[in-house]
Amino acid sequence: MMQEAWEFNSKHLKDLDDKDVDQNLVALVENALELPFHWWAPRFETTWFIDLYERKEDKNHLLLELAKVDFNILQGIQQEDLNDTLRWWENTGLRELTFVRDSFIASYLWALGISFQPQYSYCRKVITKAIALIIVIDDIYGTLPELELLTDAITR
């Protein structure tokens, strides 16, 4: 039943004559049809929404400025978190395992999707490390010296 409702709404929204509709609303609908709102990671679309709001004629300039400042502050905090966890990654020695995927940034993005709020910095770091280690363990089909190197890194 939900699938039928989705197909019905999608068809009619795609066929909508957008000449008589607010262009910001058209952009929101097109974006929602591409990927429904409830599937988004909360902060990954922030710049898209800020840009969309900036184009509104009746925008609140203070609210817009606050959104930009909030985004920049949070991005700075998240960059510090990433730098801290990258230093940890470099110190583990796991980069010496040449067969392991280098997907540390992807690990951080997963953590960011789970907890983006500034007060959850420690949580993001721990999740990033856990995902990175899971990826390493998943990639292991190594020789005894490589497995010993991994064991030493995990022990540290």
pLDDT value of residue 11: 82
Full domain range(s) for residue 43: 2-61
Query: Distance between CA 117 and CA 133 in Å, rounded?
Result: 23
First to last CA, the chain: 53
Q: Which residue's entry shows tokens 């990175």?
A: 132
- Do 130 and 90 belong to one domain? yes
pLDDT value of residue 38: 72
pLDDT value of residue 142: 64
- Do 150 and 79 belong to one domain? yes
46 within 8 A of 70, measured Cβ to Cβ = no
Number of domains in the chain: 2
Q: Which residue's entry shows tokens 């952009």?
A: 27
pTM, two decimals, is: 0.68
Digits of tens for pLDDT over the chain (156 positions)? 888 888 888 887 777 766 777 777 777 777 777 777 777 777 778 888 898 899 888 899 999 999 999 999 999 999 999 999 999 988 888 877 777 787 888 999 999 888 888 899 999 999 999 999 888 887 776 677 877 887 888 788
DSSP tag of 40? S
SS3 state of residue 99: coil
Query: Distance between CA 87 and CA 75 in Å, rounded?
Result: 18
Structural domain contains residue 102: yes
